[in-house]
């Protein structure tokens, strides 16, 4: 009788323990992941779609999207651990930002590449661009070099050998058409379309105007060297929560969404 009573007590303790463990697992706090984005297409759209169509919350990951208009501050804040990750930049920009701000951020996964081109409200063909035209392009080093390389690819200028996508205006070897160049903050570029003859603009900003980089640009990059994707720190790149977000950003559903919404202006890299 005593043996049976002890056995019942032991079973009761075991069941209670299992129930408590299950309840604890169900009520465990999710891992909060603060992810910054610039709030512009296609980054914000892709991130929102990926989160809306994922089961990250069921997997214990609570992604808190931080919209920032001053995207220059995103990488320093990520380095300082005020943010966990970001989704707003191409990797050459990341490299330049690491250099400029002494940060050490790393790519987690490439997600897409977007068409980079030059646009004009005054001319329908690059051949119509007259001598002495005003050409505007981004002033940050990563995208200014990208712009100059684009102009060189179409013979508007020639660059010093080896300058490539890291070129500056000092690397312009010849400017036979006497073009005037002006560098402007990326956030202001679309406003210059009314005044400039030609403006080099990233897809993230031209899409906001309802324009298509692949259809409306006078010239576009011939070689794609600017993948965009999720960025984090070396110490959290391989964290389970970060990797789960990376997986959510690279599903067949996300690929289909990009293709349907942005056409050939945005190309998935997975």
Tens-digit pLDDT profile for residues 171-182: 999 999 999 999
Domains 31-115+226-268 and 117-220 agree in fold = yes
DSSP H or E stretch at residue 251: none
pTM of the model: 0.84
pLDDT at 28: 72
What is the Cα–Cα distance from 179 to 126, expressed in whole angstroms?
Answer: 13
Is the model's pLDDT at 114 over the cut of 50?
Answer: yes
Query: β-pairing, 266-268 with 172-174?
Result: unpaired
Q: Is the C-alpha dihedral spanning 228, 116, 259, 207 positive or negative?
A: positive
Residues in a beta bridge with 268:
112
What is the Cα–Cα distance from 130 to 163, expressed in whole angstroms?
Answer: 26
Regarding the domain with residue range 117-220, which homologous superfamily does it belong to in the CATH classification? Periplasmic binding protein-like II (3.40.190.10)
Q: Domain 31-115+226-268, what fold?
A: D-Maltodextrin-Binding Protein; domain 2 (3.40.190)
Distances, alpha carbon 207 to alpha carbons 111, 174, 260, in Å: 18, 32, 14
Q: What ranges do the domains of the chain cover? A: 31-115+226-268, 117-220
Distances, alpha carbon 72 to alpha carbons 75, 76, 88, 184, 233, in Å: 7, 8, 10, 15, 16
Tens-digit pLDDT profile for residues 210-221: 899 889 999 999
Reading the block at residue 28, the tokens are 């465990």
Helix/strand/coil for 97? helix
Percent of the chain with pLDDT over 70: 90
Tens-digit pLDDT profile for residues 194-206: 999 999 999 888 9
Is the model's pLDDT at 141 over the cut of 60?
Answer: yes
């Amino acid at each position: 009788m005593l043996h049976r009573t002890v056995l019942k007590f032991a079973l009761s303790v075991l069941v209670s323990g299992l129930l408590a463990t299950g309840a604890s697992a169900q009520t465990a706090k999710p891992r909060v992941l603060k992810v910054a984005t610039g709030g512009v297409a296609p980054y914000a759209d892709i991130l929102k779609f990926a989160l809306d169509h994922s089961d990250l919350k069921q997997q214990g990951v609570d992604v808190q999207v931080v919209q920032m208009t001053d995207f220059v501050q995103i990488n320093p804040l990520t380095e300082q651990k005020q943010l966990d990750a970001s989704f707003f930049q191409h990797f050459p920009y990341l490299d330049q930002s690491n250099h400029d701000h002494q940060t050490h951020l790393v790519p987690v996964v490439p997600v897409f590449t977007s068409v980079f081109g030059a646009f004009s409200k005054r001319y329908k063909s690059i051949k119509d661009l007259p001598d002495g035209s005003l050409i505007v392009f981004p002033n940050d080093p990563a995208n200014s070099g990208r712009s100059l390389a684009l102009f060189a690819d179409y013979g508007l200028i020639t660059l010093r050998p080896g300058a490539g996508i890291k070129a500056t205006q000092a690397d312009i070897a010849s400017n036979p058409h006497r073009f005037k160049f002006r560098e402007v903050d990326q956030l202001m570029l679309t406003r210059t379309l009314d005044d400039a003859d030609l403006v080099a603009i990233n897809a993230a900003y031209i899409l906001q105007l309802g324009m298509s980089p692949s259809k409306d640009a006078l010239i576009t990059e011939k070689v794609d060297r600017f993948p965009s994707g999720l960025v984090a720190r070396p110490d959290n790149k391989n964290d389970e929560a970060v990797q789960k977000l990376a997986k959510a950003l690279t599903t067949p559903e996300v690929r289909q969404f990009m293709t349907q919404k942005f056409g050939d202006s945005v190309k998935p890299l997975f």
